[in-house]
Amino acid sequence: MADNQERKNLSKAMEIVSKVKGEGIKVKYILVTREHSEVGWKLRDLAMDYDIASELMIFERGMSFGELYSLYAIADVFLLTSKAEGLGMPVMEAMSVGVPVVATNCGAMPELLGTEFPWERGFLMETEYSMIDPWGNSRRDFPSAESGVSALLDVYGQKDSSPLVSPNRARIYMESRIWDYPIEQVNSSIRELLDAKV
């Protein structure tokens, strides 16, 4: 579930999936995106470059709730290689369904996935480097492929050093989130703007 544009870093996701395949794990990479974006990758060509063309399944975004839910429900893991990420609605959707999440350590991901010990709600990929992008002077964090492969192998139980991650804890955390605080923030901002105009 990621748009086909530079910030979503789909080439890194394919690199990680390719390396996991190279570890002998049977993979299917299900991608909901804009396949023919004018500013994105030629995804099927990229998948051939990474030797995962037969493992790639592309679905065009804009599908119904039921169709999207079914893709989350059959997933073993949700991989997000974004260089920058705010609220992360697809991550929250995956957590709500109980799908383990592996995401770049950037933006709101540490809050959503938990950084306290024991790691409870997901896996954060370490970053190789960061930069300031010319689009709004925004920070871009580039995830390490090795960190992503390690996290996916943890999900598939291939390593002895698996952190304590529970999809059930992720779901409980998502169910505990309420709209009261964000709504109050918006209302407060509107009141301040209205008071300033008076």
- Which of 64, 115, 123 lies closest to 95, judged by CA? 123
Cβ atoms within 10 Å of 180's Cβ, excluding its own: 8
Q: Which residues pair with 140 in a beta bridge?
A: 131
Could you tell me the pLDDT band of residue 19, with boundaries at 50, 70 and 90?
very high
Output the CA torsion 111→117→122→124 (10° steps): 70
Q: Does the pLDDT at position 4 exceed 60?
A: yes
What is the reported pLDDT for 135?
74
Q: Does the pLDDT at position 48 exceed 50?
A: yes
Q: Alpha-carbon distance 75 to 100, whole Å?
A: 9
Amino acid at 117: F
**SS3 call for 10:** helix
Q: What percent of the chain has pLDDT over 90?
A: 69
Structure confidence by residue, pLDDT tens digits, 69-82: 999 999 999 999 99
C-alpha 32, offset from chain centre: 12
Residue 146 tokens read as: 């090795």
Domains with residue ranges and CATH for the chain: 6-197 (3.40.50.2000)
Structure confidence by residue, pLDDT tens digits, 105-163: 999 999 899 866 545 788 999 999 999 988 778 899 999 999 999 999 988 885 444 44
Q: pTM score, two decimals? A: 0.86
Average pLDDT, stretch 54-61? 97
